[in-house]
Structure 1
Amino acid sequence: MNPDALDLAQKADYERKTKPPSVPLSKLHGIPILVKDNTATKDKLNTTAASYALLGSVMPRDAGVVTKLREAGAIIPERPA
């Protein structure tokens, strides 16, 4: 589980409630999106590709698809089991 996911979701909820209707939000604003554990994320999630050898490794940047999802307002909450 991404420990930042709840904070990000609460921030998105607050933005949705406080922004005037004339300010458009993205269609993915605050929506949780799951990515596999072989997709690099530069946050507190482990990118292990199901290998214990990679547990605790730190990615230098988000994968391209993750960057685009975050820019669109998506929240990456956890890895699927």
Structure 2
Amino acid sequence: MPFNQYLEQEFIPDYKLNVRVSTFNTKQHLLKILIARFRNTPLNKVTKRDVKNFKHFLLENSDYGTNYAATILSTL
């Protein structure tokens, strides 16, 4: 199953039911970042190297601060 399909059809609906509305609203942007990065990658094909490269991207090539990058990664 592609990453985006899993998030959109499985994870997000379940997550939305189990957290407060304000928490879900806060996480929505993070989830969009993850979907954009790993969109069509099959879940079982996301590797440690992919996560490491994403971490480097967040810290070195984006406008995200260290804490926000850490929040994105912990959501992943």
Q: After TM superposition, is the score higher than 0.5?
A: no
The TM-score, its normalising length taken from structure 2, stands at 0.37
The TM-score, its normalising length taken from structure 1, stands at 0.35
Q: Which structure has the larger Rg over C-alpha atoms?
A: 1
